[in-house]
Structure 1
Amino acid sequence: MIVLLIVVGLLAALLWACWSSARSYYQHGRIRGMDEAVRQIVRGIGRHYEMAARATPEGVSKAMADIKAMFSQRPHLKTKDIERYHLQLSILADAIGEACCSKGQAQGVEMMAPAEGYIRVDLSVIELLQLSRLAHLGFLHMMPNYRGLEIQRFSDELDAQEGTRSIYKLESAIPLNERPFADLITHYKGREQLISDWWQPTPADRVGYVRGLGSLVALAPATASS
């Protein structure tokens, strides 16, 4: 009976030793795999920044140094040690992601920035249409040999408001030292005053203007028939 117990104890010890050895080899294999992966990542990052002639970001350098120090120690591995390696790898991944995001954002801003001496203005389709129409009319009336008789007006108050806002957006993009006028607000308020003076409930000048248009419309068929 005693011999049987001894044999069972030896078998249990052998099984425990085999299981512990296999577990240790498994954990060491995981660590070696992570070590090799980190080495390849570090090599790729270093080559990337060497080709761009730039220094490695501080956060990435610190995370890589911490991982290298951790891999060089390699104490007796436990489950919490594996979790510690995973935590350090996640810190490295966060640092690399943040560096990539910062670099991509900086390059995007650089690519979207206008060339030196140029100004970029963001305009909607309505603003472009308003400005193109106003610029065309302004060009025609600035030419000494223009003899056009057609009359073009804003269709309503909303149309006029969109026009003055488009002009204000274009004027505000001009640098202060390059503006041909002293006060930007004065120009805007002047246009707003014209709009508010015209589109009122019963302005006398508008009534006369509308009556004049009515008489012209009434005379048009008679003139055509004669």
Structure 2
Amino acid sequence: MMRLIYLCLALTFSFAVQAEESSRFMAPGDLIEGTGEGIVSKAIFFPNMRFPVESGPAYAKSHAYAPGGFKGGGGSECDEANYSYPWRDNFCEFRRADLPVCASGGHQGQDIRPASCEASKHWAVAADNGIVAHVGRFAVTIQTASGTLYRYVHLDMDTLQVKPMDKIAKGSRIGKVSNNWLTKLPIHLHFDAKDTVLLDGQAKSVFLPPYSSLVASYQLIMD
């Protein structure tokens, strides 16, 4: 049975567990100027989540509005700026998605660069115990017993370690982070999380901000 997360439109509340603030992590909702209106909330919607890349360091920041990205103004995808702290939220970054929790469209998830600018080297792993609910052309979706959907996009599908309906344990390898899409992108993992929430009094399945949950889970593997 799916759990319900009570979500107010302003998202001004915070769960008891919060990610530690440090120089490595910019605040939730602090998007690159001109790329959208972020959600300023430290809520950790997925407190038991395992960081979705097997080992660090890793760098959560936009792939589109960074050097080498299609809106990055030039430069190289391997630019040092893309592989350094601090992290930066891009859940509500303006793309094409119409997310009910974002005022400016939305990106659905968070871009995460692995430790180095090398495709098909770094493993994406299961954020929680569950089953492989879907395997697509470039992506894998894991569904937990509570109904949470964790999606991994831009994987090297030739390295895939799972198939549809497989049971998977938290931390198990899924596939390697790459740059696969209709056209080649900067090397990164797009990671998103979807759950059922009460929104305007109705239960809806929506993408939720993963940034604070990623910060908290990253600290567990790095500190």
After TM superposition, is the score higher than 0.5?
Answer: no
State the TM-score, normalizing by the size of structure 2.
Answer: 0.19
Structure ID, larger Rg: 1
More helix by share: 1
